[in-house]
Amino acid sequence: MGMNFEKAVLGIEFGSTRIKAVLIDENYVPVASGAHDWENQLVDGLWTYSLDAIWTGLRDCYADLKRDVKEKFGVTLTKIGAIGFSAMMHGYMAFNDKNELLVPFRTWRNTNTGAAAAELTKLFHYNIPLRWSISHLYQAILNGEPHTKDVAYFTTLAGYIHWQLTGRKVLGVGDASGVLPIDPETKNYYPEMIEKFDALVAPKGFSWKLGDILPEVLCAGDDAGKLTEMGAKLLDPAGDLQPGIPFCPPEGDAGTGMAATNSVKQRTGNISAGTSVFAMIVLEHALKEVHEAIDLVTTPSGSLVAMVHCNNCTSDLNAWAGVFKEFASAIGAKIDANTLYGAILNGALAADPDCGGVMTYGYFSGEPITGFDEGRPLMMRTTDAKFTLGNLARSIVLTALGAIKIGMNILDEEGVKLDRMTGHGGLYKTPVVGQKLTAACFNAPVTVMETAGEGGAWGIALLANYMINKADGETLDDYLDKKVFAGMKSSVLDPDPKDVEGLNAYMERYIAGLPAERAAVETLK
């Protein structure tokens, strides 16, 4: 097989339902993988994963990868070129000076931090979301939790695992940007925010200062330590894996998503459209205003990224597809998912650009960007609307992008420029339709790669590979653009002016019709 494992690189990502490991060769191609499924628990009203679940899951995932390598190549993994870890961003893992966890890990899903996030947003004049680590720390202080006086270090899940395996208390800049805001000039925390926070909590008389308990910030390509003997045993209790393997900075899932979709360059972005939808756009400069709808994080190399996250995307499309499938079955037609979605979505291509007077809201849950705490899926039309399958289908797709478009309008007003977007997720499985309408939404070319890549685990493996193999002065965007993605098959669609015009007309009605959605929430219990 001629595989040189000393040049292979391992990426492991802790997602919310799965831990995934991907081993890549010198050509960035995944050659082996492992996985472990896990679930969060609600303990004392807060979402968490236990330390036991973290380590059992990691060891099981690594053992699964090791088994895959043995089966494919007949060798036992002992030494590899580099390792990288990533995980769900944000959340809160706090430790005392004996390195003991003070309270169960609080994940990004916890929304009990409203008071803290609002106060810090005002104090820092910077949007601080509920899920950020600093919100969790300050909320615990506001709640008078006794553990807060004993905090000697706090970090994210990726930062914790990296620390245990290497002894280094560091974070990649992208993950760090979800702990406390990062200054894109210095690629480090804002010192004035640290000072303001210390002044804010000074009356508590803590023995710690914020600057002393934060992880050190590193950028993509920086050396982030090596696997220690203790770390090697934690990862591979069988004792085959050798210590001394270099680690890249641990990153968050936003950063690995950017790497895996080749969107770390300024004026590029990516959109992930499935049950929920988020778009990340790499900015050339800071925004002038504070916008609650826009979260600011960074790329793994420290460029500022505007992130718009919306709760609803393809659920309504799936629900309508279910109805059409039932109809097909009632008339004795057997239909597979590809044909079913193809028939619905291709109709959207031939429809009226503005959906001909048909309006839907696919709000299965609340949508913060339009001010909804809960939602009701709603379909309405004018009496003279052209009520066709195509117009209904197009309306469902445009609505799936509606809330994101409102976020994009804010960035347009801020003068944000966009050269290209990459689309990934369920909306792009049927060729052309989702891609074409997304191009209209962002008014920029949209690329969909033939291989959707291996997701975040592959993304962090690429970051580890970059660290050990980058040429002198080679930037991360050049490395991804010219080496990793140079030969990959993809399709690019430019925005069609008719689609852009139709979407804008649809969005005017979408915004004007929000009181009808509000009435549906209030009256349909």
Q: At 63, is the secondary structure helix, strand, or coil?
A: helix
Taking residue 244's Cβ as centre, other Cβ atoms within 10 Å add up to 10
Helices within 296-388 (DSSP H only): 315-330, 337-349
Q: Output the six-digit token pair for 113.
A: 């931090």
Helices 253-260, 456-469: crossing angle, 10 deg rounding:
80
Closest by Cα among 278, 365, 360, 358 to 320: 360
Q: Say how many CA atoms lie within 13 Å of 182 toward its Cβ.
A: 33
The full set of domain ranges for the chain reads 90-155+180-214, 315-400+498-523
Q: Output the six-digit token pair for 495.
A: 């925005």
Task: Tell me the whole-structure pTM to 2 decimals.
Answer: 0.93
The per-residue pLDDT for 455 is 82
Euclidean distance between CA atoms 60 and 18, whole angstroms: 11
**Residue 54 C-alpha from the chain's centroid:** 20
The DSSP H or E segment spanning 224 is: none
- Partners of residue 379 on adjacent β-strands: 360
Q: At 281, is the secondary structure helix, strand, or coil?
A: strand
* 220, amino acid identity: A
Check: CB of residue 154 under 8 Å from CB of residue 95.
yes
Euclidean distance between CA atoms 368 and 127, whole angstroms: 14
Euclidean distance between CA atoms 455 and 294, whole angstroms: 23
Taking residue 9's Cβ as centre, other Cβ atoms within 10 Å add up to 28
Check: CB of residue 103 under 8 Å from CB of residue 112.
no
Check: CB of residue 135 under 8 Å from CB of residue 128.
yes
Phi, psi values for residue 423, rounded to 5°: -105, 135
Euclidean distance between CA atoms 376 and 462, whole angstroms: 41
pLDDT means per 10 residues, the chain with 525 residues, are 86 95 95 96 94 98 98 96 96 97 95 96 97 98 98 98 98 98 97 98 98 98 98 97 98 94 96 92 95 95 96 94 96 94 93 97 93 94 97 96 95 96 90 95 93 78 97 96 91 96 97 97 95
Q: Output the six-digit token pair for 56.
A: 């059992």
Euclidean distance between CA atoms 497 and 500, whole angstroms: 5
Helices 337-349, 389-400: crossing angle, 10 deg rounding:
90
Q: At 188, is the secondary structure helix, strand, or coil?
A: strand
Check: CB of residue 165 under 8 Å from CB of residue 227.
yes
DSSP conformation letters of 26-45: TTS-EEEEEEEE---EEETT
CATH class (in words) of the domain with range 90-155+180-214: alpha beta
Helices within 205-290 (DSSP H only): 210-213, 229-235, 253-260
Euclidean distance between CA atoms 135 and 116, whole angstroms: 5
Q: Where are the beta strands (DSSP E) in 198-322?
A: 216-218, 251-252, 268-273, 277-282, 295-298, 304-310
Residue 295 carries which DSSP code? E
Match 């803590």 to its residue by tokens: 206
- Partners of residue 94 on adjacent β-strands: 154
Closest by Cα among 219, 191, 234, 275 to 466: 219
Check: CB of residue 301 under 8 Å from CB of residue 220.
yes
Q: 44, exposed or middle or buried, with CB in 10 Å at 0-12, 13-18, 19+?
A: exposed
Closest by Cα among 260, 246, 244 to 300: 260
Q: Output the six-digit token pair for 383.
A: 């009496």
The per-residue pLDDT for 452 is 53
Phi, psi values for residue 37, rounded to 5°: -90, 140
Euclidean distance between CA atoms 286 and 468, whole angstroms: 31
Closest by Cα among 25, 464, 446 to 263: 446
Euclidean distance between CA atoms 256 and 251, whole angstroms: 7
Check: CB of residue 407 under 8 Å from CB of residue 279.
yes
Check: CB of residue 13 under 8 Å from CB of residue 83.
no
Q: Output the six-digit token pair for 292.
A: 């609650």
